Amino acid sequence: MRAEEAHYQTMTTTTGRVHSAEHAASSTPRPHAAEPTTGDFSREEVLLASRNHAMPLELLRWDRTPAGMHYLVIHWDVPMVDPAAWRLKIGGAVAEPVEFSLADLRARDRMSMGVTLECAGNGRSLFQPRPVSQPWIHGGVSTAEWTGTPLVALMDEAGLRPDAVELVFSGLDRGFQGGVAHAYERSLPVRAAVSGDVLLAYEMNGQPLPPQHGFPLRLVVPCWYGMASVKWLHRIDAVTQAFEGFQQRFAYRLQQDADDPGEPVSRIRVRSLMAPPGIPDFMSRRPIVPAGATKLVGRAWSGYGLIKSVQVGVDGRWLPAQLDEQDGRHAWRGWSCFWQAEEGDHELMCRAEDDAGNIQPLEPEWNYQGMANNAVQRLQVTVLPSISDGTALP
């Protein structure tokens, strides 16, 4: 084992890695600070929601989400990075460690693509009992146009050794979670990391990355939940054994209880969402719709394949939706459906199927951390005979 790789794989547990059975047995960090609950939202959950904002669902009408409206997860603090001094270092199990400045990366081959990113915890607050963490409803998803340079070319330049099994991506953001101090780090299997579509992105929607979205450089991993797309990226290490950092081993897992090792969260499950029709009530956000022909629109996406079909449910009756043209391989797909809205209260739903045969479940599939909830959206709406300024709700 080379000295640099050995140093990387034996760093102390203050970085969030667990290196021995003795440590694991004596202290098992848990990513959530409390047990799932049916109670009110805690002050801590409200604080998380105030920092990590959702995409307003009316933005589903847009092909690309504006940067300021894109959903946002910041685990700790936004690092202040000097772009002139910043470097990306690639090391570990490679033939030749390499280092790049931001100018170096910008001078390389550019690639732009629309990519839908979704937080793995999107829909967490809809589970019962509710896992206690960032209380997403539906808005932890967005699509942006990301520009950067493909990761595979840099790894080819460094020369991956044949015994490398994973790439570990390290961000500059640090903090405590589960009582353990660590940097945000995630790994990908080598095969997935060098697939050709994994991007080292320095632009978002044609502009330099905003600080909150990972300036100066972030990883963008199409088809995977957002936890894989490490922000404020500054180091990539090839490793010869499975990475066991906190965010890999303990967080982002499909568990049934705290002691269940569970399965890792990876690709995005098939999902669709509807933009609320009509106009909303201020406090409840309930859509109020005028009677008559109403065009319902939304988006659908999946990390397992392209969207094959979408159905729209109206009070339990399913109607086929019209799909828009596919917008690249990794961006959500638009859909629409006309509904003859009749006066009264109604429940609207939408349900997608991908070309791998995956279809959204009607009910959430509960898990301890509140991950990967792709159950159908249920939207309660009120239809009035007409709506104009001065119309009062009944």
Q: Give the Cβ contact number of residue 361 at 10 Å.
A: 14
Q: Is 85 exposed, middle or buried (0-12, 13-18, 19+ CB in 10 A)?
A: exposed
The percentage of the chain sitting over the pLDDT mark of 70, rounded to a whole number, equals: 93
Alpha carbon distance 370, 366 (integer Å): 7
In the prediction, which pLDDT does 33 show?
75
Sign of the C-alpha dihedral, residues 140, 113, 69, 339? negative
327 HSE (CA, 13 A, CB side): 21
Tokens of 365: 């599939």
Alpha carbon distance 78, 231 (integer Å): 10
CA 123 to chain CA centroid, nearest Å: 11
For the chain, which residues score pLDDT lower than 70?
1-27
**Per-residue model confidence as pLDDT tens digits over 17-73:** 433 333 333 357 788 878 999 999 999 999 999 999 999 999 999 999 999 999 999
Choose among 202, 205, 224, 200: nearest CA to 68. Answer: 205
In the prediction, which pLDDT does 27 show?
58
248 DSSP assignment:
H
Kindly list the structural domains of the chain, giving each domain's residue range(s) and its CATH number in brackets, ordered by start.
Answer: 3-264 (3.90.420.10), 271-384 (2.60.40.650)
In the prediction, which pLDDT does 137 show?
95
In the prediction, which pLDDT does 17 show?
40
Choose among 249, 244, 282: nearest CA to 264. Answer: 249
In the prediction, which pLDDT does 55 show?
97
Contact 214, 80 (CB under 8 A): no
